[in-house]
């Protein structure tokens, strides 16, 4: 699959399909139609079929998709068929909430290390994870290959933290700080921009 | 501007431009180029010019944009030139973190009411906001017109909360619960889907 062009929107929908499939599995569904897989997603079944066609041929016309098989395939495609460890920097209120957030584990993602520079936070244990001194990050990531880091520090500290992450070997950054990061092109950066989401919503209410 | 087609991506970028402009203002910039406005956004200056051209003619060729004026215009376009009040339901760890989150106020958005159904949380005061019994929501929204609600309850409770919000007069929902909502078409729903963002990032690291 390397180097094949896959639209960004397709990529963003993969974990969403996976979550709906996991729900169907919980309901003990064995076979699901594309309509069921798209249930309440605002995605047309055609779009789903197009999205997964990038990765091969799945499902049987008129029958549907084997739920277990498609879950396995999607986990494999995304790269979460084995547990993926990530780190988090910034154990403030948002950071602590994320450490305790249950949504990650459904996708086989685990926050394995949390870092902060505040002596009052270092050593604290949250959800079984000890908050470590941020200065230990490089050393820890030398021992254990972790590629993804979550940034939950204030906006004015995010760039410096991101650079240190990259220096320590992180290749993908999920940034919650309300600011944009300036990193080498080879680093993947995603933003969870809560205020902008609210802003867009308010725009739509006022204009559409 | 009503009924004019504006791409969703353009809408999502407006608050992002605004935030960069607010940063430029903080740095006491009076005039900014489109390149400066797009600084570290991964957005080309051409895209910015195209995006704001939906709303009129701004800036002077070869001179740039009046920072204050463009901030005012964008706030007006988005609908946050006056303070916008929103409600939040679900004062768990994520909900509390959001109440304390500083990113909203920069965009003139205020979480004015927080609701929960847990007697242990009702009455608590967080960041000056008293957590109210969720059953009071309809009554409160009858007194005060608030159109946007944030959902921070667990996934299995989100649909019911969303329906109650809509019944109480909410027209736009920002959903943090890792599940999709099934609401009338006239209701705007946005998702902040942290696990999916991480999933997409992991996919890119594995495949691109």
Supply the pTM of this predicted model: 0.83
- Could you read off the pLDDT of B159-172 as tens digits, one per residue? 999 999 999 999 99
A129-133/A125-126 β-pairing: antiparallel
User: Are A18 and B179 in contact, with CB atoms under 8 Å apart?
Assistant: no
Residue numbers in B near A172 (CB within 8 A)? 201-202, 204-205
Predicted confidence (pLDDT) at residue A139 exceeds the cutoff of 60: yes
Cα dihedral across residues A192, A46, A35, A52: positive or negative: negative
Q: Residue B85: pLDDT above 70?
A: yes
Tell me the two tokens of residue B66. 């009046």
Count CA atoms closer than 13 A to B9's CA, side-chain side: 7
- pLDDT, tens digit, for every residue of A107-117? 999 999 999 99
Residue A1, pLDDT above cutoff 70: no
Which residues of chain B does A16 touch, with a Cβ-Cβ cutoff of 8 Å? 180, 193, 196
Is the pLDDT at B45 greater than 60? The verdict is: yes
Best CATH choice for the domain A8-78 from the list 1.10.10.10, 1.20.1510.10, 2.130.10.10, 3.40.50.300: 1.10.10.10
d(CA A153, CA A199): 21
Does domain B8-76 bear CATH number 3.40.109.10? Answer: no
Q: Which residues does B160 contact at the CB level (< 8 Å), separation at least 6?
A: none
What's the pLDDT score for residue B1? 52
What per-residue confidence (pLDDT) applies to B39? 81
Same fold yes or no, A8-78 and A84-196: no
Which of A123, A135, A139 has the alpha carbon at shortest distance from A160?
A135
A182: nearest CB among B40, B102, B195? B40
CB B73 within 8 A of CB B134: no
Structure confidence by residue, pLDDT tens digits, A152-170: 998 889 999 999 999 999 9
Nearest CA in chain A to B156: A23
Of B11, B106, B192, the CB nearest to A204: B11
Neighboring chain A residues of B204 at a CB cutoff of 8 Å: 11, 172, 188
CB atoms A97 and B102 under 8 Å: no
Q: How confident is residue A198, by pLDDT bands cut at 50, 70 and 90?
A: very high
Give chain A positions within 8 Å (CB) of B179: 19, 23
Q: Which CATH architecture has domain A84-196?
A: 3-Layer(aba) Sandwich (3.40)
Asked if residue B136 lies in contact with residue B167, where contact means CB atoms within 8 angstroms, the answer is: no
Domain ranges of chain A: 8-78, 84-196
pLDDT at B163: 97
Residue from B198, B204, B207, B208 to probe the interface with A (highest A Cβ count within 10 Å):
B198
Identify the closest residue of chain B to A94 by CA–CA distance.
B97
């Amino acid at each position: 699959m390397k180097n094949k062009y896959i639209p960004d929107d397709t990529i963003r929908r993969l974990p969403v399909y996976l979550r709906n499939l996991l729900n169907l599995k919980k309901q003990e569904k064995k076979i699901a139609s594309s309509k069921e897989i798209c249930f309440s997603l605002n995605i047309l079944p055609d779009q789903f079929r197009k999205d997964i066609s990038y990765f091969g041929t799945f499902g049987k016309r008129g029958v549907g998709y084997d739920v277990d098989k498609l879950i396995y395939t999607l986990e494999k495609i995304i790269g979460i068929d084995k547990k993926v460890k990530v780190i988090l920097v910034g154990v403030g209120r948002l950071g602590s909430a994320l450490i305790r957030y249950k949504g990650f584990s459904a996708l086989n993602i685990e926050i394995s290390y949390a870092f902060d520079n505040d002596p009052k936070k270092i050593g604290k244990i949250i959800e079984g994870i000890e908050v470590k001194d941020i200065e230990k990050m490089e050393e820890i990531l030398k021992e254990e290959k972790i590629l993804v880091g979550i940034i939950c520090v204030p906006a004015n500290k995010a760039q410096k933290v991101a650079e240190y992450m990259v220096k320590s070997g992180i290749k993908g950054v999920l940034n919650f700080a309300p600011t944009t990061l300036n990193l080498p092109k080879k680093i993947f950066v995603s933003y969870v921009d809560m205020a902008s989401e609210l802003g867009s919503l308010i725009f739509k209410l006022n204009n559409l």
